[in-house]
A = this chain, B = another copy of it.
Amino acid sequence: MATQTPDSPATAPAARDAERTRSEILAVARREFADKGFAGARVDEIAAKTRTTKRMIYYYFGGKESLYIAVLEQAYTGIRALEQQVDVEHLDPAEAIRQLAALTFDHHESHPDFIRLVSIENIHHARHIARSDILAGLANPALDALTRILDRGRATGRFRRDVEPIDVHMMISAFCVFRTANRYTFNAIFKWDMLDPDRRDHYRTMIGDIVLEYLTASR
């Protein structure tokens, strides 16, 4: 990495590097699939945007659909890895919920590609996720953390006992995913940009409020 041939700019026939070629294809493919969907993305265009050729896509990934699945796998495992770093166990349950919501909020805002891939995959009835061994059996650290937070909140009597972790996760996801995924139609129809930086703090606090009020409601 430190030693570099003097006369080898980005355009030169890059030195052979299987890993770099592979990951470059994957990165370009992620952008293209996220931008245009599976059917809308073009193998030729993905190839053109890399420093290699179309043949390499078939060499490394086998075909368009396998490449798309590889993109999905990378995107999902990236998120799971991030979720695993979450450490909210030591916090007060209410504060832990707020931080978990904020974390999801921040993540979805800063990874629009991932949100778009999820939308696209839903259009396809999640059949590629089902086909992938890696994705079909992927654990969900966020849900585990949520389960433990709820347990502690219930123990102190602050949280309702009749709320399932999966429903809390759903509330948070729905809000954060919708804000990113439906940004364009919402803006086209209501002239209201949910991702306007000036409204960011408002929405970031709002989702925490919503979830906590639901969890602490008396009934």
* Contact surface of A with B, Cβ cutoff 8 Å: 36-40, 116, 118-126, 129-130, 135-136, 138, 140, 143, 166-167, 169-171, 173-175, 177-179, 181-190, 192, 194, 206, 209-210, 213-214, 217
Contact A37–B188 (Cβ < 8 Å): no
With A178-B174, A213-B217 in contact, do A123 and B122 touch (Cβ < 8 Å)? Answer: no
Nearest opposing residue in chain B for A184, CB measure: B126
Tally of this chain's copies? 2
CA A101 – CA B213 in complex, angstroms?
A: 18
Complex contacts, A126 vs chain B, CB 8 Å? 184-185, 187-188
| Chain A interface mostly | helix
**A188 contacts across to B, CB distance below 8 A:** 126, 129-130, 135-136
Known: A123-B120, A174-B175, A190-B140. A206 touches B37 (CB 8 A): no
Q: Are B166 and A192 in contact (CB under 8 A)?
A: yes
**C-alpha spacing A183/B119, complex, angstroms:** 10
